[in-house]
Amino acid sequence: MKLESVDISQTASASAIVFEALKRAIIKGELKDGEPLRQDEIARLFNTSRIPVREAISRLQEQGLVKSQRYKGAVVAGIAPEEVSEIFDFRALLEGHVIEQAVPRMSKETLSAARSYCEEFVASSDPMEWGDLNRKFHSALYQASGLSYHNGVVNAALDRVDRYLRAQLTLTDGMERANIEHMGILEACEKQDAKMACDRTRQHILGAKNTLINHLKSK
Amino acid sequence: MKLESVDISQTASASAIVFEALKRAIIKGELKDGEPLRQDEIARLFNTSRIPVREAISRLQEQGLVKSQRYKGAVVAGIAPEEVSEIFDFRALLEGHVIEQAVPRMSKETLSAARSYCEEFVASSDPMEWGDLNRKFHSALYQASGLSYHNGVVNAALDRVDRYLRAQLTLTDGMERANIEHMGILEACEKQDAKMACDRTRQHILGAKNTLINHLKSK
DNA sequence: ATATTGCAAATTGGATCCAATATATAATAT
DNA sequence: ATATTATATATTGGATCCAATTTGCAATAT
């Protein structure tokens, strides 16, 4: 008799665990810009040696999320306002293109999933959750494009600015405006109007960029 | 008396050296798709221990240039024809945008530098050099945009397909066509016609994609 | 002959140790 | 008191060692 081959939970390597945890902490903004990442301290936190920690830091550096100097260690990478601005422009270009490709490939399930993220988004009162749901909403739509490389790059760009985006959502009318614009994008998708979805996505991103830049300048 | 603080040749870390060397070897195609990267072997080659090698491999993995499996090691990441196709589409979108932004910011020096790369390109008979000069030509023009994040992403995408691009250049009329199209792009830049530079760049990339895909399918 | 089992070698992941460098602190000179 | 030097501590980079896992190969059974 032959048994079905079961994937016994391939427990991830320590370095992968540390990497994911640090990445999440940086993206969410729990680790502040410029905050040093002490290998020893992190190793103790995860009950490992410094080796997996160093591999994790190497990978984070490659993603641009931390900056290291030889013998001085790694710190959470800050980001200049001009770079924030450039990354939002980049996102506008790319995400517009991706959603345009995605629209003709969206299933009913995709659209209803996006809609429910949208509803959770307005229902939620936890600012930390807004960022996640915002991202899930967009990501659900983008996935339909089938463009895995494009989506990978989109996610990498988002990782770099996610914490600022979250901050932007908490500004006065950030949530409200985001929700209106999400509905507009969703509507375009449901109408199968790819060009409109593209334009609205770009406006959504460029609008967020402007309020964010103004906010950064004002202090 | 106070001496000027001199930056004594900050010799790079071993892991950085190994990383750069492996990256170059993969990009140039010296390491073939699927070829395993043995930590021990590489460590001996560079007279180091396996630790820096592992950090280098971690970083390469993050860039998508190698794929690792726990306890099985890392291999040079192959790439499916569909992914090649997607990356060329991605490049067309992005590089078109970048050169469009770059055109109004191009100095005389930029243009003459690009022109000389172009001339070296036609003069060279070494297929390996073609790839380098091709890349230097485009890069020189893109740099003028000042869009460092965009350019970083462009380079990462190029790194993934560089070896296939080189192969494409060596095809029958690859060189000849590339040169004609380069001249066309350069002409558009010199005429300060940003839209034309954008369109020609996109056609250049999509044309290369088509010949490459046909070539991949034919065998 | 083919498939299965049981080692032995090879290879990777991680821990511990040492060397190189940076940072903080105390001692000294002006 | 301030600035400079010397010293101690902390931290990172890398080497070596051990454990976990895979892979290759021989022995065995059918």
Chain A residues bordering chain B (beta-carbon distance below 8 Å): 10, 12-13, 15, 51, 54-55, 58-59, 61-64, 70, 83, 86-87, 90, 93-94, 97, 147-150, 152-153, 157
Report ipTM for this prediction.
0.90
Stronger pLDDT, A9 or A183, i.e. the higher one: A183
* pLDDT at residue B215, as a whole number: 86
Q: Give the number of other CB atoms < 10 A from CB of residue A78.
A: 11
β-pairing, B66-69 vs B73-76, is antiparallel
Question: For the packed helices A174-190 and A127-143, what is the interaxial angle rounded to 10 degrees?
Answer: 20
Strand D nucleotides where any atom sits below 7 Å of a protein CB: 4, 11-17, 20-23
Q: From CA B144, how far away is CA B106, in angstroms rounded?
A: 5
Q: Which nucleotide is nearest to A73 (CA to C1')?
A: D12
Contacts 24+ apart (CB under 8 A), A124-129: A127/A166, A127/A169, A127/A170, A128/A28, A128/A166
Q: Which nucleotide is nearest to A16 (CA to C1')?
A: C13
Q: From CA B86, how far away is CA B90, in angstroms rounded?
A: 6
* pLDDT at residue A98, as a whole number: 98
Burial class of A76 by CB neighbour count within 10 A (0 to 12, 13 to 18, 19+): buried
In this complex, the residue of B63, B90, B150 whose CB is nearest that of residue A149 is B90
Note the pLDDT tens digit of each residue in B47-74.
999 999 999 999 999 999 999 999 999 9
The per-residue DSSP string of A84-141 comes to: HHHHHHHHHHHHHHHHHHHGGG--HHHHHHHHHHHHHHHH---HHHHHHHHHHHHHHH
CA A46 and chain centroid, separation: 24
Residue B28 has pLDDT above 70, yes or no: yes
Distance in Å from C11's C1' to B21's CA comes to 22
Confidence at A2, pLDDT banded by 50, 70, 90: very low
Do the Cβ atoms of A63 and B62 come within 8 Å?
Answer: yes
Q: From CA B38, how far away is CA B54, in angstroms rounded?
A: 10
Terminal-residue alpha carbon distance, chain A: 71
β-pairing, B36-37 vs A36-37, is unpaired
Terminal-residue alpha carbon distance, chain B: 72
Strand C nucleotides where any atom sits below 7 Å of a protein CB: 11-17, 20-23
Q: Residue for token digits 């350069």?
A: B186
Question: For the packed helices B108-123 and B174-190, what is the interaxial angle rounded to 10 degrees?
Answer: 170
In order of start, what are the domains of chain A with their CATH numbers?
14-76 (1.10.10.10), 81-217 (1.20.120.530)
Q: Which of A213, B132, B150, B183 is nearest to B204 (CA)?
A: B183
Note the pLDDT tens digit of each residue in A82-130.
999 999 999 999 999 999 999 999 999 999 999 999 999 888 888 888 8
Note the pLDDT tens digit of each residue in A18-71.
999 999 999 999 999 999 999 999 999 999 999 999 999 999 999 999 999 999
8 A C-beta contact, residue A134 and residue A178: yes
β-pairing, B66-69 vs A73-76, is unpaired
In this complex, the residue of B55, B58, B86 whose CB is nearest that of residue A147 is B86
Chain B residues bordering chain A (beta-carbon distance below 8 Å): 10, 12-13, 15, 51, 54-56, 58-59, 61-64, 70, 83, 86-87, 90, 93-94, 97, 147-150, 152-153, 157
% of chain B beyond a pLDDT of 70: 94
* pLDDT at residue A219, as a whole number: 65
Confidence at B10, pLDDT banded by 50, 70, 90: low
Count of A-B CB contacts under 8 Å: 63
Residue B126 has pLDDT above 50, yes or no: yes
Q: From CA A107, how far away is CA B74, in angstroms rounded?
A: 37
